[in-house]
Amino acid sequence: MVTITQFVYVKAGKEETFQQFESLVLPLISQYNGKLLLRLRTSQEQLIEGELEAPYEVHLVSFESEADLAAYMGDQTREQYLYLKEESILKVMTVKQS
């Protein structure tokens, strides 16, 4: 099992573009033995303490294997819409546990 935690930072004013990307690619996860365990939207007001700014969203996703994760990452539909991700995301911090 592979578990991915992502802290997603979205460019100001690009939230709708990010949502469009997510609506197109998140449904693909299950096709690759994956599960969206958590999708949480945050705000700076919810940050209690820390050196990092609050991300726009936090995602927790699991896949049965590294091969399943790689297949999802290489999905043609997902790749077709990566321009939306590139247009809308400022940065992503990823934590991977195998």
Contact between 78 and 20 under an 8 Å Cβ cutoff? The reply is no
CATH code that applies to domain 2-97: 3.30.70.100
pLDDT, tens digit (0-9, with 9 covering 90-100), for 26-50? 999 999 999 999 999 998 888 889 8
First-to-last C-alpha distance (Å) of the chain: 6
| pLDDT > 90? residue 7 | yes
pTM of the full predicted structure? Answer: 0.90
Residue 69 backbone dihedrals phi, psi, to 5 degrees: -60, -45
Angle of CA points 10, 22, 24, to nearest 5°: 145
Residue 3 backbone dihedrals phi, psi, to 5 degrees: -120, 130
Return mean pLDDT, the chain.
Answer: 96
